[in-house]
Amino acid sequence: MLAQHSATPNDLDDSYAAKNQDPVAIVHGTFGGTDGQGNSCSNGGAVSGLRTPITIVNSLITDSDAVGCCANPAKAGTPGGGSGGATYTDGGTYDLRIPGSLIQRNSAKAGGSAIFYVSNSRTGHLYIDESVSSDNVYAASGQPTPQSFENYPGIFYLGSGEPVFTNSTIR
């Protein structure tokens, strides 16, 4: 997802994305659901957004993989990527909201086996409510040293303050 409608399209943030974008809403979505039915991508095995507010409501995201290697920007001799086994988001000012969802059995070779969230301007937020994120793992990168990184179980977060977890299980 990239660059949604904005009521102020000429008012740009530091990443040149329009401020006040309408969020993308994924409601009752199923990504994966069982072993062998998940998705894969270099970054964001199931859902990926750049500079875009996203809300994932009452959804199932399982068995998906971020298959790139060694993070971005790509290191010499690697293709880059591998972050956000279930969900990858990156940009300036935007929020990621995940209410009522299950994120399980996803993998990544770099940051965030479940969720990779980076607000470059440190103004965006991650909100997880009434959700479960569990059993998300790191896959071997094939590199001589581990490439995985997270600062919460299954999550790499860089935003404004701490992420907000309410009535949720994050493990």
Three-state SS at 99: strand
How far apart CA 119 and CA 133 sit, in angstroms, is: 21
Q: For 88-100, what is the mean pLDDT?
A: 93
For the stretch 13-72, pLDDT in tens is: 777 777 778 889 999 999 998 888 999 999 999 999 988 899 999 999 999 999 998 888
Q: State both tokens at 146.
A: 């581990």
How far apart CA 112 and CA 57 sit, in angstroms, is: 20
Domain borders along the chain are 24-170
Give the pLDDT score at 63.
97
The model's confidence at residue 76, banded by pLDDT at 50, 70 and 90, is confident
Question: How far from the centroid of its chain's Cα atoms is residue 7's Cα?
Answer: 25
Q: What are the DSSP calls for 113-143, one per residue?
A: SSEEEEETTS--EEEEES-EEES-EEPP-SS
